[in-house]
Amino acid sequence: MELLYEFWSNTGYYLVDPRNLVMIVVGCVFVYLAIAKEYEPLLLLPIGFGILVGNIPFFKGFGIGIYEPNSMLHYLYFGVTSGVYPSIVFLGLGAMTDFSSLLAMPRLMLLGAAAQMGIYVTLLGALGFGFMLNEASSIAIIGGADGPTSIFLTAKLAPHLIGPIAIAAYSYMALIPLIQPPIMRLLTTKKERVIHMPEMRPVSRLERLMFPVVGLILCCFLAPASIPLLGPFFFGNIMKESAVVDRLAKTASSAIIDTATIFLGFTVGASTQADVFLTPKSVGIFVLGAVAFSIATASGVLFAKIMNLCLKQKINPLLGAAGVSAVPGSAREVHLVGQKEDPSNYLLMHAMACNSSGVIGSAICAGILWSFNMM
């Protein structure tokens, strides 16, 4: 009988805390959104299931939980805390990205820069809310709408906040179809939304080959702290464009990025143990994350409108919203909003140009913020 009681006292049913149940519900919502609504399923499914795994109550000290040394989850989580997974994801991302549209219309890169303003406004907001500088910087990077970059910077500056920041960043990326369109419509007129973009010039192979080298040198000389992200990113891209290492490029853009995404999502989800995750700070992070994402979208759109004051050939201001680096979600959303107004308006390629410059921009911002924190 005593044996049975001891066994019972070690079960999750006995050890359960109401906060675990809250997190299990959150995990189920993520899984539901991923499967039923298909909101960023590649991210939400691993994270959602990870949340379920991370919130099963267990007897501490057996080396089971993600925060316990020697546990299997702890070893997998090392890839997050060391910043290895984000770098691998960037390698794959580079091998998947076609910069032709950006090379054909380089002025769209400015929209990727403008959309990073959300990061700096949120930095001020987070400091004003009483967060320390390292925490505020990690929260601010959510405005870049780039999950791996957010995780990377947080792992370096405020590892204790990885769970809430990663969940906030990926949640807002998944909720792009709900967050961005109202902001785009609010800040643009119908006349602006139906602006057609010119067809792009063909880009030579040599240009596409030169870009990763030029991009790496310029960006990493400016913010060397972004090397762990931009180094693999441009390396992945030159593998793709060189066409001499097709096998490597294909592996980087499929098996490698997929493996990193699985472990990244799953372990980030599992890191949301209720006792660590459900704190007032997490609530603040979610609020500030939403603000960061909204300001990033708005600043991209407004900057496009400002550019139009000086340009002969107007830019569709919706493209500014794709300046955040949520690839390809925000580009797709810009295209859909443009098509709702005029079904013959094709903005996808132009939006992808802004999107890819947003990826570079947010990685530079991460490097800048990391440098500021080291001073």
Partner 1 sequence: MYGFEAISHHNGWAMAIAGALIVMAGLSVLSFIISQLHRVVELIEGRGKKKLGRIPPEVDTAREAPQAAPLDADELKTRYAPLAEELGGTFKLTHLYEIAGAHDMPHIHLSIRSLRAAGVLVPEADGVFKWQQ
Residues 197 and 347: beta-carbon distance below 8 Å: yes
Shortest distance (Å) from residue 357 CB to partner 1: 6
Whichever of 44 and 368 has its CB closer to partner 1, that residue is 368
Shortest distance (Å) from residue 274 CB to partner 1: 27
Give the contact letters, 161-200, x = binds to partner 1 (CB under 8 A), - = no.
--------------------------------------x-
Nearest to 370 by CA among 245, 222, 253: 222
Separation CA 148–CA 232 (nearest Å): 13
The residue assigned the tokens 């063909």 is: 202
Which of 45, 47, 117, 249 is in the footprint of partner 1 by CB under 8 A? 117
For position 304 contacting partner 1 by CB under 8 A, the verdict is no
Shortest distance (Å) from residue 253 CB to partner 1: 22
For position 287 contacting partner 1 by CB under 8 A, the verdict is no
Half-sphere exposure of 138 (CA within 13 A, CB side): 28
Burial (Cβ within 10 Å: 0-12, 13-18, ≥19) of residue 157: buried
Shortest distance (Å) from residue 269 CB to partner 1: 30
Shortest distance (Å) from residue 336 CB to partner 1: 8
Which of 211, 233, 286, 293 is in the footprint of partner 1 by CB under 8 A? 211
For position 39 contacting partner 1 by CB under 8 A, the verdict is no
Give the largest CA-CA distance in the chain.
Answer: 85
Tokens read off for 116: 């990073």
Stretch that binds partner 1, among 18-26, 171-179, 266-274, 338-346 (CB under 8 A): 338-346
For position 313 contacting partner 1 by CB under 8 A, the verdict is no
Nearest to 315 by CA among 112, 114, 107: 107
Written as one letter, the residue type at 52 is L
Which of 31, 47, 119, 295 is in the footprint of partner 1 by CB under 8 A? 119
Which of 26, 93, 136, 319 is in the footprint of partner 1 by CB under 8 A? 136
Separation CA 164–CA 115 (nearest Å): 23
Helix or strand or coil: residue 71? coil
Residues 66 and 273: beta-carbon distance below 8 Å: yes
Which positions ≥6 away from 132 have C-beta within 8 Å? 158
For position 306 contacting partner 1 by CB under 8 A, the verdict is no
For position 67 contacting partner 1 by CB under 8 A, the verdict is no
247 C-beta neighbours (distance < 10 Å), count? 8
Which of 51, 80, 158, 365 is in the footprint of partner 1 by CB under 8 A? 365
- Distance set, CA 321 to CA 61, 299, 300, 306, 348 (Å): 47, 8, 5, 14, 12
For position 236 contacting partner 1 by CB under 8 A, the verdict is no
Which of 10, 11, 204, 254 is in the footprint of partner 1 by CB under 8 A? 204
Give the contact letters, 341-360, x = binds to partner 1 (CB under 8 A), - = no.
--xx-x----------x--x
Which positions ≥6 away from 166 have C-beta within 8 Å? 47, 80, 147, 150, 151, 154, 268, 271
Q: Please state the three-class secondary structure of 178-221 as a single string.
A: HHHHHHHHHHCCHHHHCCCCCCCCCCCHHHHHHHHHHHHHHHHH
Which of 72, 124, 178, 255 is in the footprint of partner 1 by CB under 8 A? 124
Shortest distance (Å) from residue 130 CB to partner 1: 5
For position 308 contacting partner 1 by CB under 8 A, the verdict is no
Residues at the interface with partner 1 (CB under 8 A): 102-103, 106-107, 109-110, 112-114, 116-117, 119-121, 123-124, 127-130, 132-133, 136, 199, 203-204, 206-207, 210-211, 214-215, 218-219, 222-223, 339-340, 343-344, 346, 357, 360-361, 364-365, 368-369, 372
